[in-house]
Structure 1
Amino acid sequence: MDMRPEPFEPPAPQPRTVPPSWLEIIRIILRNPLELWGVPSYTLPWIETRFFREHTLIVNDPGLIKHVLVDNAQNYRMGDVRQLVLRPILRDGLLTAEGAVWKRSRKAVAPSFTPRHAKGFASQMLRQSELYAAKYERGGRDGAVFDIAVDMTELTFAILADTLFSGEIASSSGTFADDVNALLHRMGRVDPMDLLKAPSWVPRLTRLGGQKVLDKFRAIVRRTMDQRLQRMRAEPEATPRDFLTLLLEQAGPDGLTTAEIEDNILTFIGAGHETTARALAWTLYCVANAPHVREAMEEEIDRVLASGAEAIDWLDLMPWTRAAFEEGMRLYPPAPSINRAAIATDRWTSPKGEVVDIPAGITILIMPWTLHRHELYWEKPRAFVPERFLPENRNRIDRYQYLPFGAGPRVCIGATFALQEAVIALAVLMHRYRFDAAGDAQPWPVQRLTTQPANGLPMRVTPRPSAAAPA
């Protein structure tokens, strides 16, 4: 692999060399769980430990990950703490439902996210990216500073609203994207009561401020459903055949209940864009600090756009752009943890004959944050090296050592959608502008529901003088 001698190493917590005390563990989990992990989590294939008297197996070995998420997935349910955090927000949405409810929801939303259907969204993704790029033209002088973390959230929300809801989300608020951020920030945090596995009816003091925002979202979702149902009855031929319509058509005794439809709409409005937004922002930051990567991407983007290629083909025609985004997701995985619990006793044997006994009830932690930076599986694991994801190098990466979208039956249903959206957005933005880090302070990753930059990602946006807007 062609690596530069000193690739950019973006900011991240250093592995702990001394185990924290119980009191420190509580403080770290409440402040930023990414700062909890010690050297063993980045160097060993698996670790058995106890958190708050809970038996826990931290899994990094790709073979053992495959066993838990794929080969014997039916033996592993969602982890308790994860559900205590997410279910109050999403209830029986696709991310939190289990059993028969999850199967019904997955079947209902699957038609909107087949690779062929997802590619059909390319023109809308392009249109929204071009519209958003005009914000920087209106921003005033050259080199104005913008919070790219906020900007990418707004852009991906605009894309989601246009593609999945045809722009018909029933919100009168001009700060709807800000409300999404407030909801996920206030409601998506681990509370001490979650760590103690207190029943969901026990108040979570850290999340009290989020209930008002959640109630507002529920009201918006209900209005959105009502408005679309009225249109489906009054104008069946003119109603968009989008995600919203397809989901509402699943209502009935053999499909989804009204409450389950509401939960899934909230899931996609509230969280459907968040993961891609975070990954895009981190990617732009890393690219800004890796000149040879930016040069390769700009050459590739300019060449493809000059050729007149349709946006639907950009994902295949821009390997450098895709590789940079995938490397951004490696270093800053949008979903930094995957939590499961064993239903029955299980056992896994490694190719070397090592045996891992998995007792019933044990918590399984698969941490993309540590897995993606693990010394056993990655060369220069803390460095930004998109070359590792170029087509000629991809076969060196085990399917289960890289999990930005999870794996197994519950793999992210929108993976193709997100990759295409990211490449189109990066191509439009980087064709017109250069993004450079602004300010002296380095961004710091914190774990909420996603891997977010503390205090935002300020970047200086400067027009590229030789670039013309794409036709």
Structure 2
Amino acid sequence: MLEPAAPSAGAPSPFLAPAPVPHAKPLGFARFLLTASRNPIEIWGERAFREPVLRADWLQVPTIIVNDPASIRHCLVENAANYAMQPLRQRILRPLLRDGLLTAEGELWRRTRRSIAPVFTPRNIAGLAGLMESRSRVFAERLGVRDGAVVDASAQMTLLTYDILQATLFTDDIQGEPAAFAKAMETFMGRMGRVDPLDLLDAPAFLPRIRRLMGRGAARYFRRLITETAERRREAMARDPAGVPRDLLTLLLEADGLSASEIEDNIITFIGAGHETTARALGWTLYLLSQAPDERAKVEHELDERLPGLPDPREWPDALPQTRAAFEEAMRLYPPAPSLNRTAIAADRVLDTDIPAGASLLVMPWLVHRHERLWDRPGHFMPERFLPGNRERIDRFQYLPFGLGPRVCIGQSFAMQEGVIALAALLRHLRFDFVGARPPYPVQKITVQPREGLAMRITRRQRMSGGSGRARSPNEAGEPKI
């Protein structure tokens, strides 16, 4: 268990992040079915946050929930070949992403991953830092003009990460209007990415899933947008092969063995899963910092003191440990991908628990990240866990924001760099204060999202006085009062 240093006398208590209260007793069949289809992270009982491995036979299927880091490593790394993608997961995601990298299996997955890998080399990711910074800075400037306004920070972060993804991976070739895109994305992910009771019951595919029917208009919008984008790039490649950018779109179009529909599936995968996860993590980070003024002051002080001497944003992820720690802690409390689902091909065993062939294996970052045996005060926002000196003591298989094993998120370095740069650009001159009528309630769709968004007031802030950890007053700074 990670044990951060005890807070000094008089230090404020860490903020307890909003989350569903674990059940004292298992849910009955009807309640389980309803809860799992409405908000899967609400199904968990107290044992799931205390025991290293437990078994639950849901809907006549043996289900093994694994929280122990060594057992997670065994199942998803050392014995990964024994665990296939779970049919339930595929029933939910394939209608959205079809044969994209997130849902492809076998040779198609291997071929697609090889084709995309060159985009995500460390050198290429570092080379995208300038674009990430410039798009984030311009976005922050536009928000700053609205000093005092209340915005939905969750929706705003969706717009920002879409803009960054557009610039970096598609070289601004996707020509959808941002507001229309954000609305369609909310419908696409919110309607089509939800668990349906018919999925839980393994009902035939021809039976309609009502939520997905409601999301078909958004799905058609994305397909049309991506088809037009790919066609424009093909035409540009035919006219001047040397003149097109070497971005994700070009590499997909050049890949051997990928059909036109598979290329479109992967573009939609990266637009959907690739930007949605970072957007949610940024939104939650802004909210958590707004509820922990002492932690926000540390981030603001770091940015005020260090950013003036860091003109190259490639250096920011390593040179801004407090900012990075806040982002990582937000992903611990609200993991972008809250569940990893597999099916055992052959029998296996972890600790003292047998895993029968055909059993469902669940590794839930939502549980692992809040497990009482693995974390001190697991429900509290404590960025110090991820500061140098503490970060190294966290087991590799205890913190899983990007998954693990052969199918670990190919864009994790991209997302971490993007997250730190975006936060630094936003918080350098702005402050976000939550003004919602009630605390945001997390809901699992594909990602963990705030049910009613994040109503936050934007204010411009003054630079903190050197070394004091406090903002200069308006009279000291000679600037308008916030």
TM bin, normalised by shorter chain, reads over 0.9
Of residues 300-309 and 223-232 in structure 1, the stretch that sits farther from structure 2 once superposed is: 300-309
- Deviation of the 1:435 alpha carbon: 1.1
Query: Aligned residue for 2:379?
Result: 382
**Counterparts of 1:26-425 in structure 2 under 5 Å?**
26-139=33-146, 142-171=147-176, 174-250=179-255, 252=256, 255-348=257-350, 354-425=351-422
Secondary structure of 1:213's counterpart equals: helix
Deviations 1:113-153 (A, max 9, x none): 112211111011011101211222332xx321111000001
- Deviation of the 1:177 alpha carbon: 2.1
Secondary structure of 1:296's counterpart equals: helix
Q: Does 1:437 align with 2:434?
A: yes
Cα distance in 1 for partners of 2:271, 2:149 equals 30
Cα distance in 2 for partners of 1:283, 1:270 equals 20
Secondary structure of 1:462's counterpart equals: strand
Structure 1: segments with no counterpart, 5+ residues: 349-353
Is the contact made by 1:92 and 1:264 (CA closer than 8 Å) also made in structure 2? Answer: yes
Letter in 1 for 2:5: D
Is the contact made by 1:170 and 1:221 (CA closer than 8 Å) also made in structure 2? Answer: no
Q: Normalising by structure 2, report the TM-score.
A: 0.92
RMSD of equivalent CA atoms: 1.5
Deviations 1:49-106 (A, max 9, x none): 1111111001101111111110010111111111000001111100001111110111
Cα pair distance change 1:436/1:171, threshold 3 Å: closer
Letter in 1 for 2:285: T
Cα distance in 2 for partners of 1:231, 1:197 equals 45
Secondary structure of 1:227's counterpart equals: helix
Is the contact made by 1:368 and 1:404 (CA closer than 8 Å) also made in structure 2? Answer: yes
Secondary structure of 1:435's counterpart equals: strand
Cα distance in 1 for partners of 2:175, 2:459 equals 35
Is the contact made by 1:3 and 1:387 (CA closer than 8 Å) also made in structure 2? Answer: no
Matched residues, number: 458
Is the contact made by 1:90 and 1:96 (CA closer than 8 Å) also made in structure 2? Answer: yes
Cα distance in 1 for partners of 2:27, 2:404 equals 31
Cα distance in 2 for partners of 1:364, 1:447 equals 19
Structure 2: segments with no counterpart, 5+ residues: 465-476, 478-482
Of residues 200-209 and 373-382 in structure 1, the stretch that sits farther from structure 2 once superposed is: 200-209
Of residues 95-104 and 300-309 in structure 1, the stretch that sits farther from structure 2 once superposed is: 300-309
- Deviation of the 1:173 alpha carbon: 6.9
Deviations 1:307-342 (A, max 9, x none): 143001100100111110000000000111110000
Is the contact made by 1:3 and 1:385 (CA closer than 8 Å) also made in structure 2? Answer: no
Cα distance in 2 for partners of 1:315, 1:215 equals 37
Cα distance in 1 for partners of 2:108, 2:261 equals 11
Is the contact made by 1:278 and 1:450 (CA closer than 8 Å) also made in structure 2? Answer: yes
Is the contact made by 1:8 and 1:289 (CA closer than 8 Å) also made in structure 2? Answer: yes
- Deviation of the 1:258 alpha carbon: 2.1
Q: Does 1:16 align with 2:23?
A: yes
Is the contact made by 1:330 and 1:404 (CA closer than 8 Å) also made in structure 2? Answer: yes
Deviations 1:183-208 (A, max 9, x none): 00110001111001123332112221
Letter in 1 for 2:446: L
Secondary structure of 1:129's counterpart equals: helix
- Deviation of the 1:14 alpha carbon: 1.4
Query: Aligned residue for 1:351?
Result: none
| Aligned partner of 1:2 among 2, 5, 13 | 5
- Deviation of the 1:174 alpha carbon: 4.7
- Deviation of the 1:356 alpha carbon: 2.8
Cα distance in 2 for partners of 1:174, 1:376 equals 44
Cα pair distance change 1:51/1:416, threshold 3 Å: same
Letter in 1 for 2:94: R
Letter in 1 for 2:191: R
Of residues 169-178 and 108-117 in structure 1, the stretch that sits farther from structure 2 once superposed is: 169-178
